[in-house]
Structure 1
């Protein structure tokens, strides 16, 4: 694997972490939403990542290229919060309101993790760039 492939790997990692950050931000933004039915209640969402190995053959050489791919975004299957609030304007006929299954503490920890993963990919790309520049200086 050449140094140029590392830019593709780091770039796909940054794209995947951006999706993770956006999904987490959406979960946090909807954490306090309320609805009158289970069907309309926001459910926490999480991205599913897939490590992708693509093998291409060029003549006798076999070249491996790795990347990170977002396979999809799934809704959490944790139970929604049901709260008795008969005075609430969105209460159903039985006096219940429904809140999302978002745990803000877990989401904040996930956001910190995604941010650090993104930063690590940036550092990998910077280190690769530096190595390539030093390699070019050797030829002078």
Structure 2
């Protein structure tokens, strides 16, 4: 396969993977302060994304794919808040296992990778356009 088209395919797979990662990080951030609806109910559990390298047999290039969206099994956070409707008999509320700092750093990393893939696609498009212009003249 032509290297320019292969680079488009690789960058496109990266865009799709990082888009999924950004969606999952956004879900985690949106639910970071939620609690269970009733006392003793489990709150939102942090989601994680796993990537996998996959060979595209038609083009012969390695692509990145989202292999799974799983859940983080780390323990929930517990906070004393007796006025909360989700508090147990001791006044403790179980909160999600989402760390805002980790999520923000994941978001920043995914955003930068997305931008890099997008820049690769723009550069490839420019090279293809220049090649077509050379062939016309």
Picking from 103, 110, 130, the partner of 1:107 is 103
* Superposition CA RMSD, Å: 1.6
Mapping 1:12-91, distance limit 5 Å: 12-35=13-36, 36-37=39-40, 40-56=42-58, 63-91=59-87
> What SS does the corresponding residue of 1:93 show, helix, strand or coil?
coil
Shift of 1:67: 1.5
Q: Distance in 1 between matches of 2:42 and 2:97?
A: 13
Correspondence 1:126 to 2:122 = yes
Q: Distance in 2 between matches of 1:17 and 1:54?
A: 19
CA distances 1:87-122 after superposition (whole Å, capped 9, x unpaired): 322112343210001111111111111111111001
In structure 2, how many angstroms separate the alpha carbons of the residues matched to 1:32 and 1:135?
53
TM-score normalised per structure 2? 0.88
Matched residue of 1:42: which SS?
Answer: coil
- TM score, norm. by length of structure 1: 0.86
Q: Which runs of 4+ in 1 moved over 3 A?
A: none
Query: 2:118 & 2:83 partners in 1: Cα distance?
Result: 51
1:6-36 Cα offsets, whole Å, 9 max, x none, are 2121111111111111100110000111123
User: How far is 1:126 from its partner?
Assistant: 0.7
